[in-house]
Amino acid sequence: MPPHAELPPTSFDLALFDLALFDLDGTLVDSAPDIHAALDRLMARLGLPPFARPEVVAMIGDGVRVLVERALAARGQPFDEAALASFSADYTARAAEATALFPGIAAMLEALEAAGWRLAVCTNKPAAATAALLGALGLAGRFAAVGGGDSFSTRKPDPAHVQATLALAGGSPDRAIMIGDHRNDVLAGTGAGLPCIFAAWGYGTPAMAEGATAVAARPEELAELLPALLARPRTGLGGAALGHRLA
């Protein structure tokens, strides 16, 4: 799908399958090593100091433009389109050198598929870098839909990003759940009318779980947690509305 494609219609038919929509960075994959390396290469080209890993992790989650904006601002520099283009080309070409699935993710995806779930990715990472990374990790073709940060005219935390990815996958909001490690995932998922599971193994701080329907400490918990959430009433999606937050 070309960048900034028109949003697909979101008047959903009732799907005959359950759908799990996953964030990518910090949820399915530990991509911080390659993002860190690409940022440090950009800083070296600009004659600026490199970053510590915690600095980079704190910048991830809002898309590549914001990432580069934050990196340049941290070094006292204004945003520069040429720096963004340089970073994007370099990172896309080397996105999977040190990136790997988080422990437990591969088995969790297999368990969900065996139980009849379809899978989708809704990420603020650009579509080209997302495709390159999924291909390098052997995940190309595994997902019913992949909604990148430039796949549509909007991105998380806008709920329309989740809705567009859901429609692309042929899913239905009443049979879908969002899983992610960032406040953007919680805001976009719940805003789209979906329960949202906060992935506590990822990069987000505990405060980012506010508003999530449930919190999972490990990927292994999802095989039981997802169907349990689908069975619950949808009258309010936040943890408090459900009486307690599952963990």
End-to-end, the C-alpha distance of the chain in Å comes to 36
d(CA 237, CA 143): 25
Give the residue numbers marked as catalytic: 23
Helix (H, G, I), strand (E, B) or coil at 236: coil
CA distances from 119 to 89, 104, 147 (A): 28, 16, 12
Q: Can you tell me which residue has the tokens 């009443």? A: 174
* Sequence-ordered alpha helix ranges (H) in the chain: 32-45, 53-59, 64-74, 81-93, 105-114, 127-136, 159-168, 183-191, 222-230
3-state secondary structure of 38: helix
